[in-house]
Homo-oligomer: A and B are copies of this chain.
C-alpha cells in the first residue's frame, strides 16, 4: 500500500463529522472530508421503540450532506446490518459517486434501492478484503473483520495527513463460521506504520472479558435438538446469517426440514444462498405452507420477530394467528437474540403468549443460545494495543459507552510517547486533524428524521414523511378502554384530533365514523390480542391510518391509547 503524506505534513485540515451513532445506538453515519472531497462511511437507520408514535424508521438528518452537495464523492459500507445500510436509499440520491461494499453488503442494499425506486446504475462497486480504491485525495483499504454477519470490513483510509482506521462493527471471532479470520496482523502492521486515528466500535465496552465465537451456541443447540420431541422454532435477527448456517447444519444432522418464516428472513437467506454465504443441503428447505403437512419432530422453523414486533412472524404464531405455523405442548421456541433496549416488555408479552400455547420458551438466560456480534472490553483493548493510534475516537454507542471506551483507551495506551489523544465526540462534532494535532473544532446541524412507511399487509409502500410536517397532516389520538376481565370495549372509543384541517361538519361525521371503525377493529381482534396493548395498538394504528388516508387523503400521526380497566 502506498503511504501518502509521509514526507512533510501538508497544510490542510482533515474534517471528520459523525452524523449518527455517536450518542445513540443505530443510524451510524460519518463524513470524512479533505478540501473538496467528502467520503461517507455507512448510512444506517435506527429502529424506534415498539410503541413509538407511528414511526417506522429513524435516519440521520441529511442536511449536512445536502450542503456538501457534489463534494460527496463516495459511500463506503462496512457491513450489511440495517444500522449501517438502512438509510442508503435516502442518501444515494444526494450524491453521484460510487458505493463501495463487499458483495453481500451490496446485495443486501439492492432490494432496498428497488423498493424505493432509487436507480443503482453501476454505482454499486463490490470490493473485498485487501482491495484498495482511490477517491480524490483518499486511498481506502478494506480489511476483514468478524461480526455476526459475513462480509464485514474495517476501513483504513489514507489521507494527506496519515491513515485513519474505522473498525466498523466487530468482535474477534478466532473460529468464524465461514473460516475467514479477522485480519489482526494487518491491524498490527497499520500500528507499526503509524496510525493517525482509530475510530472503534464501543457497543459492548461495558461487558467484561471476551465476547467469543459464534460457534459457542452449537453446544446449547445440540442439546436442544436432541431433547425436543415436537416442533422447534428459533427466532433470530434476519441478518444473523452465521446463526442461520449453524442451525441449518444442525437441522441436517438431526433430520429436520427447515422453513424460513418472515419476509426479511426469506429475502436475506435467498441473497446469502445466491452469493454462497449460506449453504443448504438439497431437499432440506421447505416452504411455510409445507409445515402443516410435516410431523412436528421433523420441523425447524427459523422466524423473525425476536424483538416482539407486533407484525412479525413470532408474534402472529404466539397468538395462534399465523396461516401455517402453530405451536403447542412438546414444541419449543428458542429466542436466539438479545433484546434491543426498549423492546423488553414486548418480548416478554410474546413469550407469555407462546407459553399459553403450551410451548416451552428457551432464552439466553436459560441456555447459551445467543452470542453477541460486538467485542467486549478485552477485544476492544486488543485492537487498541495492536493499532497504537495517535488519536482515538470511540464510535457506535450512547454517550456512556463512548466515555467508557475513552477511559479504557486512556488506560491501555497510557505511558506512550507521544501520549495518545482521546477525543470524546458526539454526533455533529467537527473533528479537525491538522499539522498541530486534532481537536473538536465546532458543530454542524445534526438530528433525526423520522420515517413513517404505511404498511398494508404484505405490500410495503414506503413514504418519506418528515415529522417536522406533522402540523400539516395533524395528529389523531384514539383512546379506547378495554375491560380486562371480559376483554370487551368499555364504551365507544374517543377520537381526539388536532391540526386536521376539515370543515367542522365533515370532521364531526368523520370522527364518528372513525370511532366505529376503531370499535370494529378492536372487536374483530381475538380476546388475547385485545388484551395485548402492543399488538392491539399496532393493529388499531394501521387500521386508523388506512381509514384516514382513504377518507381524507391525509396521513395524520395516529396515536392509539389503550387503557385496561
Copies in the complex: 2
In the complex, residue of chain B having the shortest beta-carbon distance to the beta carbon of A204: B365
The segment out of A87-95, A266-274, A494-502 that lies at the interface is: A494-502
Whether A342 pairs with B345 at a CB distance below 8 angstroms is yes
Which residues of A394-410 have CB atoms within 8 Å of chain B's CB atoms? 398-400, 402-404, 407
B355 touches A399 (CB 8 A): yes
| Least Cβ–Cβ distance between A442 and chain B, in angstroms | 13
- Complex Cα gap A399–B348 (Å): 9
**Is A446's CB under 8 angstroms from B485's CB?**
yes
Q: Are A400 and B351 in contact (CB under 8 A)?
A: yes
A206 within 8 Å of B by Cβ?
Answer: yes
Contact with B along A54-71 (1 / 0, CB 8 A): 000000010000000000
Distance from A346 Cβ to chain B, minimum over Cβ atoms (Å): 10
- Is A447 a contact of B485 with CB atoms below 8 Å? yes
Q: Is the CB of A354 within 8 A of B400?
A: yes
A344: chain B residues at CB < 8 Å are 339, 341-342, 344
User: Which of A150-158, A164-172, A175-183, A356-364 is near enough to bind chain B?
Assistant: A356-364
**Cα–Cα, bound, A399→B491 (Å):** 29
> What per-residue 1/0 map shows which CB atoms of A460-473 lie under 8 Å from chain B?
00000011101100
How far is the CB of A378 from the nearest CB of chain B, in Å?
13
A445 partner residues in chain B, CB cutoff 8 A:
485
Distance between Cα atoms of A481 and B490 in the complex (Å): 32
Q: In the complex, what residue of chain B is closest to A406 when comparing beta carbons? A: B355
Q: Please determine whether B484 and A447 come into contact, CB atoms closer than 8 angstroms.
A: yes
Q: Which of B352, B484, B496 contacts A399 (CB 8 A)?
A: B352
* A477: Cβ under 8 A from any B Cβ: yes
Do B496 and A563 touch (CB < 8 A)? no
Indicate if A184 sits at the interface (CB-CB under 8 A): no
Which residues of the partner chain B approach A491 to less than 8 Å between Cβ atoms? 471
Structural contact, B352 and A400, CB atoms closer than 8 A: yes
Which residue of A402, A428, A498 has the most chain B CB atoms within 10 A of its CB atom?
A498
Identify the closest chain B residue to A474 (Cβ): B494
Contact of A365 among B208, B498, B561 (CB under 8 A): B208
Q: Which of A402, A428, A466, A470 has the most CB of B within 10 A?
A: A470
For window 302-360 of A, CB contacts with B under 8 Å fall at 339, 341-342, 344-345, 348, 351-356, 360
CB distance from A562 to the nearest CB of B (A): 10
Kindly state whether residue A110 has any CB partner on chain B within 8 Å: no
With a CB–CB cut-off of 8 A, which chain B residues contact A353?
A: 399
Contacts of A113 in B (CB 8 A): none
Contact: B564 with A447, CB < 8 Å? yes
Task: Give the residue of B345, B354, B484, B561 whose beta carbon is less than 8 angstroms from that of A559.
Answer: B561
Instruction: From B61, B400, B475, give the contact of A479 (CB < 8 A).
Output: B475
In the complex, A483 has a CB within 8 A of chain B: yes
Given A344-B341, A355-B403, A407-B360, A496 contacting B475 (CB threshold 8 A): yes
Query: Are the CB atoms of B342 and A206 closer together than 8 Å?
Result: no
Say how far A432's CB is from chain B's closest CB, in angstroms. 20
Q: Which residues of B contact A351 (CB under 8 A)?
A: 398, 400
Report the Cα distance A365→B192, complex, angstroms: 34
- Min Cβ gap A355→B in Å is 4
Is A434 engaged at the interface, CB distance under 8 Å to the other chain? no
Residue of B nearest to A496 (CB): B498
Residue of B nearest to A447 (CB): B484
A53 within 8 A of B: yes
Binary interface encoding of chain A residues 491-534 relative to chain B, with 1 for a CB under 8 A from any of its CBs, else 0: 10011111100000000000000000000000000000000000
Distance A563 CA – B469 CA, assembled complex (angstroms): 12
Find out whether the CB atom of A467 lies under 8 angstroms from the CB atom of B342.
no
> By the criterion CB–CB under 8 Å, are B447 and A483 in contact?
yes
Interface residues of A (CB under 8 A from B): 23, 49, 53, 61, 206-208, 339, 341-342, 344-345, 348, 351-356, 360-361, 363, 365-367, 398-400, 402-404, 407, 428, 445-448, 450, 466-468, 470-471, 475, 477, 479, 481, 483-485, 490-491, 494-499, 559, 561, 563-565
Question: Could you jot down 15 A-B contacts, CB within 8 Å?
Answer: A49-B345, A53-B561, A206-B363, A342-B345, A348-B400, A353-B399, A361-B400, A447-B484, A447-B564, A450-B563, A466-B565, A471-B491, A475-B477, A475-B561, A479-B498
